[in-house]
Amino acid sequence: MSDQQTKTAIVPTTHSGAAGPYSPGSRKGDILQTAGQLGLPPGAPHLRSADQYPNLATQVLQALDNVTAVLAEAGSGWADVIMVRAHLTDTAHFREFNTLYSEYLATEQGPLPSRTTVYVGLPAGCLVEIDALAVLG
């Protein structure tokens, strides 16, 4: 690490209209943390009604794509991710979520990240929220 590290906001062009007071990703030194990504297109409030995305698969893939975009904007990728926090709303979704997640990461080099999966409340209609911790360099 350099002696003078500066925190940098990571904002993919696709995330230009943040849904709240946070940065899509934040990097300082070698550490990059993404914000929690819902399964909706980022930065498009008029598209962000979960009613339009009722499908678990659609939401999971979109949330993962959102994370990927933040990682890429920082010059990183899943190979740098050591931890994924997956927030689902229903234990009945676990099996399908695992299948989708496995397939999404199947083309990545290197070991899978660690992961914690818990079941929580999310905004109306949202079925998944995912964030990732990466170590760069």
- Binding part of the chain for a copy of itself, among 41-49, 51-59, 60-68, 86-94 by CB under 8 A, reads 86-94
- Binding part of the chain for a copy of itself, among 44-52, 56-64, 95-103 by CB under 8 A, reads 95-103
Interatomic CA distance for residues 62 and 60, integer angstroms: 5
Q: Tokens standing for 1?
A: 């690490």
Q: Shortest approach of a copy of itself to residue 17 CB, angstroms?
A: 14
Interatomic CA distance for residues 108 and 88, integer angstroms: 23
- N-terminal to C-terminal alpha carbon distance within the chain: 9
Residues paired with 38 in a beta bridge: 129
Residue ranges in contact with a copy of itself by CB under 8 A: 1, 3, 5-9, 20-36, 79-85, 87, 91, 94, 98, 101-102, 105, 110-124, 129, 131, 133, 135, 137
